[in-house]
Amino acid sequence: MKSSSPKLDILFLCVALAMLFLAGDSPVIRTAFLSLSGIVLEALPFMLIGAIAGGLIEEYLPESAVTKLRYAKTKAIMIAALAGLVLPVCECAVIPVLYRLLRKGIPPEAALAYMLAGPVVNPVVFTSTLVAYQFNPVVPVLRVIAGYVIAVSVAIIVSRILKGKIVRDDISNPSPCEIKGNKKEPRIIRASRHAAEDILKAGKYFVMGALFAGLLQSAFGRNALLSIASNPVLAIAGMMVLAFLLSICADGDAFVAASFGKAFFPLSSQLAFMLFGPMLDIKLLLMYKIVFPWKTILVLIPCITVTVFLASLLLHLLIGAVL
Amino acid sequence: MKRFRSVPMMLAATVYLCWFAAFLWLLCDGRYMMYLSRRLWPLLLLGCISCATLVIGILSSNKIATKENESREDLLNAAIMLIPILYFLLYQGDTLGSFALERRVVSMVESIECSDLASSAGDTLQTDIYILLNNYPSVFGRQVVLEGALNTSSSQPVLYRFLIVCCLNDAIPKAIFFESNCIDTLENDVWLRLEGTVDSLHINGIVYPFIRNTAVTVLPKPGSPYMYP
């Protein structure tokens, strides 16, 4: 994994430490760090498991097995978007697994579809959404179907725009010495070393993203959105912005969406919040850098934004009155 | 055989060792409930096992040393990964308070859509705000005991607590209006026990849950101030 500029890392480290030691009494800073600790404690174990799974993939999954999975592009995308049903991981754990799968030669567009759909189209998120909406099955069913359609559409659009050049060069063409490693060591040791290296690099982006999310959550009052709640177009857009800023895990975001209340915010805007957040937020934006070049990220951002917005608006127009 | 472990790998081992200790400390002490849902303790166990696996893997590895600039980058990565642990150590009793409440609420107290509420009878009910709000019609008119923190930023004082679904980042404030004449001298976030009758309050045609005829007792801040579904 390539790293970001060390100067930026040093700057981030200095600012974070200054906030911790010098501005620790500020309610903004303390609330931000409380959010950061919640995010990290919840997601880091998943990331560790994801990285260990990635290490095992690197060492034990033969490339021939990946080659067998190479279906036609669209078919691969449609199948990969359903992989969350059997591999239900949250959006943070998906990145280390994807990194190693991509190095093994899994089609990038299929990986993209899994990355986008996995955190939404999975049984854990379905159940938590069901509980958050007091066992009304309409909301989780709509969330899963819309999430699948959006992920497949975005993956197809992005692969068409970028003509297959989706992932970083160092992943699609890893250097031979990087692949071979130290062959004298047992495979299991090499697998754990891959995992250790991956987490050390991915963890940095994760902590940075979590702190930014915590700061924005502290700086931004949710009741500011009340003024736009009556207009469905603005409500959908506002809730998408909020999902981006808050960086809430897909497993718990339904409870936050439900707290906005049907009386204030249309259900379509709450769905927009639950569809957009697991695909794009501050923490993910930084973590995407691990597998994608900036060019791909710059194409992904508008594609996800426009597709989620249009899907939510369509849901509002089709079934808004019923919901 | 003499083993040569690279600087990045030793830094990684240090980071995972620190996280192993942090997970174990938070789990054994029960302190994780200040950041995570009560039922998510297996996550920390999973974190401990994963970190231990990685440390063992690194210590058994014999990867040769890498370039100096790689080591520098890894030192930075390791330092950034340790920031949350530094926070756990420095601010151990920190909890979400009125500042977070005002940032996270859409409206201070959630309105109710009930009509024709009938008073229910029974002994005094010791409950929490989340359960009370979820079962409002069935406890209407009943004497209840509630604990929570005070916030006086709206026209009517509220008692609030945060509900942690997964982690603190998604914690949602749950609040209820109450009446009292003896809270003027109290500051926001003081922990209170209220004993009063569940009633409703009408503000601009909207109905809110309300605790009437309230007896207030000031309490020390509890070890576990959050609610869990």
Rounded to 5 degrees, φ, ψ at A10 are -65, -45
| Residue A177, token pair as written in the block | 């010495």
| Maximum mean pLDDT: which of A12-21, A129-138, A180-189 | A12-21
The alpha carbon of residue B57 is apart from the nearest alpha carbon of chain A, in Å, by 5
In angstroms, the Cα distances linking A39 to A35, A88, A310, B169, B171 are: 6, 18, 29, 6, 11
Give, in degrees to the nearest 5, the angle at Cα A102 between A202 and A111: 95
- Mutation to test the A interface, candidates B90, B170, B172, most A Cβ within 10 Å: B170
The alpha carbon of residue B163 is apart from the nearest alpha carbon of chain A, in Å, by 10
Q: Is the pLDDT of residue A179 over 50?
A: no
Q: Give me the residue spans of the domains in chain B.
A: 7-90, 98-219
Is there a contact between A313 and A272 (Cβ–Cβ < 8 Å)? no
Top-confidence residue, A186 or A159: A159
In angstroms, the Cα distances linking A44 to A11, A38, A202, A244 are: 23, 10, 11, 20
Determine the pLDDT at residue B129.
92
Residues of A in contact with B19 (CB under 8 A): 44
B98-219 is a CATH 3.40.50.12160 domain: no
Instruction: With cut-offs at 50, 70 and 90, classify the pLDDT of residue B1.
Output: very low
* HEC sequence for B50-96: HHHHHHHHHHCCCCCCCCHHHHHHHHHHHHHHCHHHHHHHHCCCCCC
Determine the pLDDT at residue B25.
95
Q: Which of helix, strand or coil describes residue B192?
A: strand
- Mutation to test the B interface, candidates A7, A14, A47, A48, most B Cβ within 10 Å: A48
Whether residue A6 lies within 8 A of chain B, CB to CB, comes out as yes
Is there a contact between A250 and A90 (Cβ–Cβ < 8 Å)? yes
Say if the Cβ atoms of B167 and A195 lie within 8 Å.
no
Looking at every residue in chain B, the average pLDDT score rounds to 85
Say if the Cβ atoms of A223 and B64 lie within 8 Å.
no
Say if the Cβ atoms of A42 and B9 lie within 8 Å.
no
The alpha carbon of residue A198 is apart from the nearest alpha carbon of chain B, in Å, by 10
| ipTM of model | 0.88
Mean pLDDT of B14-35: 94
- Which residue from A13, A253, A264 is facing B106, i.e. has the nearest CB? A264
Ranking A115-129, A212-226, A285-299 by mean pLDDT, the lowest is A212-226
Closest CA to A132 of A323, A261, A43: A261
Residue partners of B18: CB distance under 8 A and separation at least 6: B82, B85
Residues of B in contact with A183 (CB under 8 A): none
Q: Which residue of A has its CA nearest to B79?
A: A13
- Taking the C-alpha atoms of residue A180 and residue B120, their distance in angstroms, rounded to an integer, is 73
Instruction: With cut-offs at 50, 70 and 90, classify the pLDDT of residue B2.
Output: very low
Determine the pLDDT at residue A33.
93
Residues of B in contact with A35 (CB under 8 A): 168-169
- Taking the C-alpha atoms of residue A236 and residue B31, their distance in angstroms, rounded to an integer, is 37
Closest CA to A273 of A160, A300, A78, A264: A264
